[in-house]
Chain A
Amino acid sequence: MFIFKNKINFLIVIIFLSSCSSMNITEENVYSDNVKTVKASSSMSENINLDSMAIFANATVYFEFDKSSLTSKSIQTLKSAVDALNENTSIKVTLSGHADERGTREYNLALGQRRAESVSDYLVLNGINKSRITVKSFGEEKPLAYGQDESSYAKNRRVEIN
C-alpha cells in the first residue's frame, strides 16, 4: 500500500515532467559543512553530604513497569528514611528517578520524575519540609543493570535517595 501511495506521487510528477519537454539545466555550489566542536564542562554535584551518605547508603526504592506508585516494600524503606531525616534536620535530600529502557527516552524521563515526585510526596506527607527535597530524573539514561531482561529492568526502575 505504501508502494501504491508513492507511485501515485511519482506518476503525477512524471506526467508533469513529461508534459514540459525542455531539458533541465542546473548549476549549483556545494555548501561548506564545517562544524565547531564544543566540550561540555560537567558541573554534576558529586559532593554528596557525607552524613547523608552514611544514613541513606541503601535508600533506593523500586517500581513496577510504567508505574510511579509506591509498593509496600518501598514504604518500609521510606519510613526509615523519614526517621533519619527527622533525626538529622540539617540534611537535605536529592531524589533521582530512573526508568528501565523500554519505551521512549522522553517518556521515561517524565516517568522517572513522577517516581521521584511520589517519593517526595510521601516524605512531605510524613512531615519533611519540601525545601529539604530536590527532585530530578535521569529517565533511562543511567541504568544500574545492563541486561535486557526483567531482573535488570526491575533494578533500573528506581528512585535513589541521597
Chain B
Amino acid sequence: MKKILLILFFSNISFSELILEITQGTEDPFRVAIIEFQGSNEISKDIHEIIKNNLKRSGEFTIFDNDDLLSTPKSENDIIFNDFKILNIDYLVIGNIVNDKLNITSEYKVFDIKKSKKVRSSTIFGIPNKNRQLAHYISDGIYEEITGIKGIASTKILYVTENEDFKLIVADADGKNEQVLLESSEPIISPSWSPDSKKVAYVSFETGMAKVFVQDIATGKRDVVIKNSSQISSPAWSPDGKFLSLTMYQDGNAEIYILNLRNKNLTRLTNHYAIDTESSWSKKGSKIMFTSGRSGSPQLYEINLRQSNARPKRVTFDGNYNAKGSYLPNNEGIVFVHRADVNFQIAIKYFDENFIRPLTESQMDESPSISPNGNVIVYAIREEGMGLLSGVTLSGAKFKLPASEGAVREPSWSGFLR
C-alpha cells in the first residue's frame, strides 16, 4: 500500500508542469518570430523553450516557431523580410549560443519587420550550468526591446511549501530552479525581499511563537530582528531598506511599529483596540498601508508618514473583507485580497477610480505579490484542497506555476536582479 501511494505521489510531481492558461491576452498581441538559436544544439533547444514560455506567460505575445515560418534565417544576411511581412509578424529574433565548457555566451538580434531594420544587438555572458538564467536574460532583452518595459523573466519568487516539513524556497519567476533557503518543522509565513533582493525577512514559528527573522540569501546568516518574549509578525521593508515595519503583540493586540534596522529603535504607528496588521510601504516610502478591523470588518487604511501624527485614512469601502494590500510600483493603485460576498479574490483599485476590479475568480485566492515591473501578480490558490501558485497579468492572461513539492503558498516577488 505504501508503495502505491509513493508511485501516485511521484506521478503527481511529473504532472505539475507549468500550465499556461491564457484566458484573455491583450487584444492586439505582438507577433514575434523566434528562430531557434544557432550553435550547441541541445542547449539551444532548451533555451528556445524557456524564452518562448517566458514571453507567452506575459500574455502580450503570439510566438512563431521555426515550423510556423516561411523561412528560418540562420544569420542576419539570410533574412528575407517579406517572408515575415506576409505573416504579419512584428519582430524577428535570431541568435547563437557559444558553449566552450568554461564559458557560455549568447548573442542575439531583434529585427523590426515593418521597418526591415535591426533594432537590437545584445551579448550575454552566462555562467556554466546556468542556462536557464541565460535564457531569462535573453527573454528580458527581447521583452524590453519590444514593449519598452523592463522584463521580469530574470527575477525570482520566494514561497513556502508544506510537505512533511515547511520550506522557504526561492525559484525563478517561471517556478523552476528551486533552491531551499530554510527548512523547519514549524510553519513559516509572510516572506518578503529586501529592496536589494539580497536578504529575506519572514515569520518563523520555530521558537514556539511567531518571530520575525532576517536571512542573508547567499550566506544563510540569519537573526531574530527583535528579541523579546511576545510574538512579532508581518515584516515589510521600507524602499530604502533601512526600516522594517512589523506587527507587534506586546500590548496584547496587533499594532504596527517601524523598526530602524541600524539602531533598533522602534516607532509605534497604530494605536487602536482593533487588529492592525499587514503593513506595506508605498514605492517612495511616504505612505504605509495596512489591514485594520477597526470598522468591524477587515479593511485597508493608509497613513501618510510625511505628516506628523497623521490619522489613518480608509481606502477600501466595497466588500466585507479587504486585506493584505500592496502598492503598484507606479503608485497608480493597490492590489489586495477582496471579498465581496463569500469568495476571496485578488483585486485591484486604481486611485483615480472609485470602484474595485476583481482580477481572479476562484474561491480562496490569497497572498498577492506584484512583479517589479507592475505587470504581473502572483498569488496563492486552492485546488482540491491543495495550495498552488497562480499568476495574472494586468492584460488578463492567467497561468499556473509548477508545484514540485507539497502545498505551495505565500509567494513574494523579488525586485529586478539584472
Contacts and interface: CB of A to CB of B under 8 A. Distances in A.
Interface of A: 1-3, 5-7, 9-10, 12-14, 16-17, 23-45, 66, 101-107, 109-111, 113-114, 117, 120, 135-139, 141-142, 146, 148
Given A13-B148, A37-B220, A141-B205, A32 B127 contact: yes
A119 to B, nearest CB: 12
Contacts of B148: 9-10, 12-14, 16-17
A85 to B, nearest CB: 19
Given A23-B119, A38-B215, A30 B126 contact: yes
Interface centre among A2, A12, A109, A120 (most CB of B within 10 A): A109
Nearest 4 pairs of A and B residues by beta carbon: A13-B148, A36-B220, A40-B184, A110-B254
Contacts of B187: 138, 141-142
B337 interface: yes
30 contacts: A2-B395, A3-B395, A7-B26, A10-B148, A10-B149, A13-B148, A14-B148, A24-B119, A24-B145, A25-B122, A29-B125, A30-B124, A30-B125, A30-B126, A30-B127, A33-B130, A37-B182, A38-B183, A39-B183, A39-B184, A40-B185, A40-B186, A42-B206, A43-B206, A43-B208, A103-B298, A103-B323, A104-B323, A109-B233, A136-B231
Contact of A113 (B26, B123, B254, B395): B254
Nearest to A21: B117
Which of A2, A37, A104 has the largest number of chain B CB atoms within 10 A? A104
B278 A107 contact: yes
Interface residues of B, number: 86
A146 B387 CA distance: 13
Query: Looking at chain A's contact residues, is the secondary structure mostly helix, strand, loop, or mixed?
Result: mixed
A117 B247 contact: no
Interface in B206-223: 206-210, 215-220, 222
A148 B179 contact: no
Interface stretch (B33-41, B94-102, B133-141, B398-406): B133-141
Nearest to B189: A105
B89 interface: no
A128 to B, nearest CB: 15
Contact of B190 (A105, A113, A117, A146): A105
A34 B218 CA distance: 6
B316 interface: no
A28 B395 contact: no
Contacts of B137: 28, 30
Of A24, A32, A139, most B-chain CB atoms within 10 Å: A24
A40 B149 contact: no
Given A2-B394, A13-B147, A38-B220, A28 B124 contact: yes
B218 A30 contact: no
Contacts of B297: 66
Nearest to B127: A30
Nearest to B104: A30
B418 A31 contact: yes
A131 to B, nearest CB: 12
A148 B204 CA distance: 25
B245 to A, nearest CB: 12
Contact of B179 (A37, A101, A137): A37
Interface in B370-410: 375, 382, 385, 394-396, 410
A34 B198 CA distance: 11
B217 A36 contact: yes
B62 interface: no
Contacts of A41: 206
B302 interface: no
A42 B204 CA distance: 10
Contacts of B149: 9-10, 13
Contact of B396 (A2, A12, A120, A138): A2
A16 B148 CA distance: 9
